[in-house]
Amino acid sequence: MFVDDLIKQPGLWSSDDLDAGIVVSSRVRLARNLKGAAFPGWAKEDERLRLCASIREACEAVPSLRHGVFLDMGELEKVDKDVLMERHLISHELAGMGAGSGVALRRDDNVAVMVNEEDHLRMQVISPGMSLHALWSIMDAIDSEFAEQIEYAFSPRLGYLTACPSNVGTGLRVSVMLHLSGLRLLNEIDPVVKGLDKIGLTVRGVLGEGSDADGNIFQISNQATLGESELEIVDLLAKVGAELVQHERNARARLLEDRRSFVQDYVGRALGILSHACLLSSGEVIDLVAALRFGVELGMVQKISPSELNEIMLLTQPGHLQKLYARVIHPDERDELRAQLVKNRVASCELVG
């Protein structure tokens, strides 16, 4: 029921503000574990079930999660798990788990607390656009509310303890998702990736899991969780995010100045395929719709809005598509239905010189 309603909501990249085109979303995540309990990967079946039930109780007691839902991975259909993954509300790993793992979701905005994934608690707040400091305030409050319900595993020397050493300390992962088609088309992504690595940040494609498709959308996040305060990490990501936005703007300006027909070709072909293909995979839709969005942002495509494109990208993912048609659909048939849906939605689109 909750997931059925979810597919009607806009996704992350939903703003029609053209300036918002480069920043897809911001995310803040905390890893926490319970004192005196085995990490989920080491816990026996009955201990996992017991832990999950007690954390679920804590979730229900936490003020920030009131009016939310708790979804048990043992009870959720595959298609519902897919929808949650496609919205970045649960991880691929959690979706693979059954009873004893779950997720608490707040109905009104994008707060998700995964229970018994790699850690006992993986809490995240996610929102469209660049809003890291605001998200950190929300996360910090939720963290404090949980601390009143449960006792965290904490070492005065190391900080918060986690299943994987890479999260020990603050347990904080801060990330921004950026649409960097300009830098990608100019073959300037690799130097950016290397530069960010040097200052302790990781870059990776985030969409189209299991395919080569990424829609030129990259997630930038902190590597270290130890040795820096939460606010230092948030500050760094906000600063680097703003710089990358400026880099991308420069790249777009150079492309329009020096290589206009190359960009028009890139955008035109995307529209040509989206409007004429009869079979489309979800990965291909991500890449082509991102290219079309790039065209909209550069003023080369008219009569379709960024939020309409965002909706196409979201609704054509396997889980959303099956929810939309309210039935389980074989991948081959999905490719046909996806192509029809896309063809109808881009029919009014126009390329401008």
Footprint of its own copies (CB under 8 A): 261-262, 264-265, 268-269, 271-279, 336, 339, 351
Distance CA 133, CA 141 (A): 13
- DSSP structural state of residue 117: S
Q: Name which of 249 and 260 has its Cβ closer to its own copies.
A: 260
Q: Which tokens hold the place of 87?
A: 């919205």
Q: Name which of 190 and 333 has its Cβ closer to its own copies.
A: 333
Q: Name which of 206 and 271 has its Cβ closer to its own copies.
A: 271
Q: Which tokens hold the place of 107?
A: 């109905």
CB of 264 to its own copies, least distance (A): 4
DSSP string, 156-210: TTTEE--SSGGGTBT-EEEEEEEE-HHHHHTT-HHHHHHHHHHTTEEEEE-SSTT
E strand or H helix at 218, and its extent?
Answer: strand 217-222
CB of 311 to its own copies, least distance (A): 21
3-state secondary structure (DSSP) of residue 271: helix
Q: Name which of 137 and 275 has its Cβ closer to its own copies.
A: 275
Give yes or no for a contact between 32 and 167, defined as CB atoms under 8 angstroms apart: no
CB of 267 to its own copies, least distance (A): 9
CB of 287 to its own copies, least distance (A): 14
Q: Which of 174, 248, 179, 175 is nearest to 207 (CA)?
A: 179
Q: Name which of 9 and 340 has its Cβ closer to its own copies.
A: 340
Q: Name which of 168 and 342 has its Cβ closer to its own copies.
A: 342
CB of 177 to its own copies, least distance (A): 28
CB of 258 to its own copies, least distance (A): 12
Torsion of CA 51, 97, 285, 327, to 10 degrees: -110
CB of 269 to its own copies, least distance (A): 5
Q: Name which of 144 and 348 has its Cβ closer to its own copies.
A: 348
DSSP string, 24-65: EEEEEEEEE-BTTS--TTTS-HHHHHHHHHHHHHHHHH-GGG
